[in-house]
Structure 1
Amino acid sequence: MNRLTQMLGIERPIVQAPMGWIARSQLASAVSEAGGLGIIETSSGELEVIKGEIARMRALTDKPFGVNVAQAFVRDPGIVDFIIGQGVKFVTTSAGDPTRYTRQLKEAGLTVFHVVPHLAGALKAFDAGVDGLVVEGGEGGGFKNGRDVASMVLLPLVRSHTDLPIIAAGGMLCGRTMAAAFALGADGIQLGTRMVSAAESPVHANWKNAILAARETDTVFLNRQGPGPALRALRTAKTTRLELEPGPNMLAEFGRATDLYFGGDMEASIALSGQVAGRIDAVRPVKDILDEIMADYAAVRAGLPA
């Protein structure tokens, strides 16, 4: 137990990333049941579907879970009222200004963590009154800041400026990376790519197999100069082309996202992925993943030199 597990009411300081269309009840309930914290996404914008996913979460687990608000992708002005109305107790906010929703969420009694890619974002979130931070290194998958900073640099930098609880994201995979994150100032870790490849992940086997086949060099960082967000994804013919010749609207490339996510057409859209894909070699159940992380963490910690 540490202050993060106590704050969130969970057994293990492991949080599942809120990936659009993927972070729904099937995966999130498995994470919560295994002692971590499952997160339901809203970045797909399908709020009526999300309402059903939250109801299914309560049918699948009585353990704590949370919801993410990715502000750049969910523009429904009623999103906070929607989340409060669902009885959710923990929220992460991302891809936007932490002052936008923090006060309203906290006044309703929710715990709020904001996702930050750099120190300036962390300080702004601190001033906004958040309860904690998700500090996201540039080696992670998904939508990123174009001026990316690796977790090895970012975590201790943010920790040196705040005592808020920190969840480390980007490069997190195993007990060894958990131990490293804790040494750098984190209180927990967030798993994204590892959860995409988990047995309970709803994505097509083609995507999972592409992760298993990937080397540590098989991701691309797209759209660094904008407009819009940058992102890290698996290398495919499509993303290699976009790396060399970015289009005018990167978000338009997600128009057929579900054909990739659930249909298995790896060229239909962009398969977001972190560099840890190069270390994943098997599709495994969520519980096994979390069990192994905790066992490996204990072994690594015990084996560290004095």
Structure 2
Amino acid sequence: MGFSNRVTRALGVDVPILSAPMGWVARPELVAAVSNAGGMGLVPGSLPLEEVRGDIRRVRDLTDKPFGINVPILVARDPRVVDMIVEERVGFVTTSAGPPARYTPLLKDAGLTVYHVVPSLRAALKAVDAGVDGLIVEGNEGAGFKNPREVSTMVLVPLVAQRCGLPVIAAGGVADGRSLAAAFCLGAEGAQMGTRMLASAESAVHDNLKQAVLAATETDTVLLDGALGRPMRVLRTDLVDSLLDLPDPDAFARLAHVTTLYHEGDLAASLAQLGQVAGRVDEILPVAEIFRRTLKEFDEVVGGLPR
């Protein structure tokens, strides 16, 4: 089955699958592999400005396919990030973790396509008012920082798709063709994969973390820092269990050592941000093979629906 919808046409891709812009994980090799497979690789914009610029140029060395960049608004506070994106000729931007009105007008004035990541209908409506072109709708089962008020992809995607009218990309819980087909049934026109891409051959993280994903069950992630209003979903480890016993764990501070986890494989050094879908990932594969299997299964599932 070929794809032709608002997402593929706006992004200029063959397959409406995005890789999550995971800081220290989605290095140029992973970003380019996703784009080369027909999807949309995303450069994480959470790193220092010149490092992000270097990543963009390295991705361009590795692929002639479209790729994009994520701007986490509360982290990327330097408005020069917009100038840098324009200078580097990146045509697609996702924004997240902050008010969409801060950068959307600037990005749109520069002729860029802008999608905003939203964890609720209220946030989606604000993004629509800000003038974004589309929405990445992120359920609470996904990895990373979450909405303090939990809502799943199954509930959130059809709600936003019905009420907002913009193209929707589903995020959280998508790892293969069956879950991609489910996202389409819910009203999405694409999906973003994070944990599945972290556990790929091109992912920059240490093999210890990849093997931890393979060993994880569907119940082996947990939300931390919920009492502080900034919950994040992480892999349950001995460190995480010790934090769960504290009235004020301040898990966010533990992320200061996340590069030790990602680069050296020390699971006790920091917090591994993983989604519940880790329980469905059981093999480390090259990105191209992940795409091949995903699309084959998607066709089989969609083709079987009339029966």
Q: What TM-score comes out, normalization by structure 2 length?
A: 0.96
- C-alpha separation between the residues in 2 aligned to 1:299 and 1:272? 31
Tell me if 1:20 matches 2:23: yes
- C-alpha separation between the residues in 2 aligned to 1:24 and 1:232? 21
Tell me if 1:32 matches 2:35: yes
In structure 1, give the amino acid aligned to 2:235. L
- Give, in angstroms, the shift of residue 210 of structure 1: 0.3
Indicate if the aligned counterparts of 1:24 and 1:39 stay in contact, CA closer than 8 A: no
Mean alpha-carbon deviation: is it higher for 160-169 or for 69-78? Answer: 69-78
Q: Deviations over 1:244-277 (max 9, x none)?
A: 3264643211111110011100011110000010
TM alignment of 1:4-83, pairs within 5 A? 4-43=7-46, 45-83=47-85
- C-alpha separation between the residues in 2 aligned to 1:304 and 1:243? 43
- C-alpha separation between the residues in 1 aligned to 2:10 and 2:248? 43
Indicate if the aligned counterparts of 1:68 and 1:91 stay in contact, CA closer than 8 A: yes
Q: Which residue of structure 2 aligns with residue 281 of structure 1?
A: 282
- Give, in angstroms, the shift of residue 74 of structure 1: 2.3
Structure showing the higher helix proportion among its residues = 2
- Give, in angstroms, the shift of residue 48 of structure 1: 1.4
Q: What TM-score comes out, normalization by structure 1 length?
A: 0.97
TM alignment of 1:211-222, pairs within 5 A? 211-222=213-224
Indicate if the aligned counterparts of 1:223 and 1:246 stay in contact, CA closer than 8 A: no
Indicate if the aligned counterparts of 2:140 and 2:146 stay in contact, CA closer than 8 A: yes
In structure 1, give the amino acid aligned to 2:265. G
Q: How many matched pairs?
A: 304
TM alignment of 1:96-115, pairs within 5 A? 96-115=98-117
- C-alpha separation between the residues in 2 aligned to 1:137 and 1:298? 24
Q: Secondary structure at the match of 2:85?
A: helix
- C-alpha separation between the residues in 1 aligned to 2:42 and 2:151? 24
Equivalent of 2:133, from 131, 134, 138?
A: 131
Mean alpha-carbon deviation: is it higher for 159-168 or for 236-245? Answer: 236-245
TM alignment of 1:188-227, pairs within 5 A? 188-227=190-229
- C-alpha separation between the residues in 1 aligned to 2:29 and 2:245? 36
TM alignment of 1:140-151, pairs within 5 A? 140-151=142-153
- C-alpha separation between the residues in 2 aligned to 1:250 and 1:75? 23
- C-alpha separation between the residues in 1 aligned to 2:145 and 2:247? 15
Indicate if the aligned counterparts of 2:143 and 2:275 stay in contact, CA closer than 8 A: yes
Q: Secondary structure at the match of 1:121?
A: helix
Q: Which residue of structure 1 aligns with residue 162 of structure 2?
A: 160
Indicate if the aligned counterparts of 2:227 and 2:248 stay in contact, CA closer than 8 A: no
- Give, in angstroms, the shift of residue 87 of structure 1: 1.1
Q: Which runs of 5+ in 1 are unaligned?
A: none
Indicate if the aligned counterparts of 2:221 and 2:234 stay in contact, CA closer than 8 A: yes
Indicate if the aligned counterparts of 1:28 and 1:40 stay in contact, CA closer than 8 A: yes
- The percent identity for this pair of structures is 54
In structure 2, give the amino acid aligned to 1:29. A
- C-alpha separation between the residues in 2 aligned to 1:29 and 1:131? 23
Shift in CA distance, 155/85, structure 1 to aligned 2, threshold 3 Å: same
Q: Which residue of structure 2 aligns with residue 264 of structure 1?
A: 265
Mean alpha-carbon deviation: is it higher for 128-137 or for 155-164? Answer: 155-164
Indicate if the aligned counterparts of 1:233 and 1:271 stay in contact, CA closer than 8 A: yes
Q: Secondary structure at the match of 1:74?
A: coil
Q: Deviations over 1:41-71 (max 9, x none)?
A: 012x322111111111111000000000111
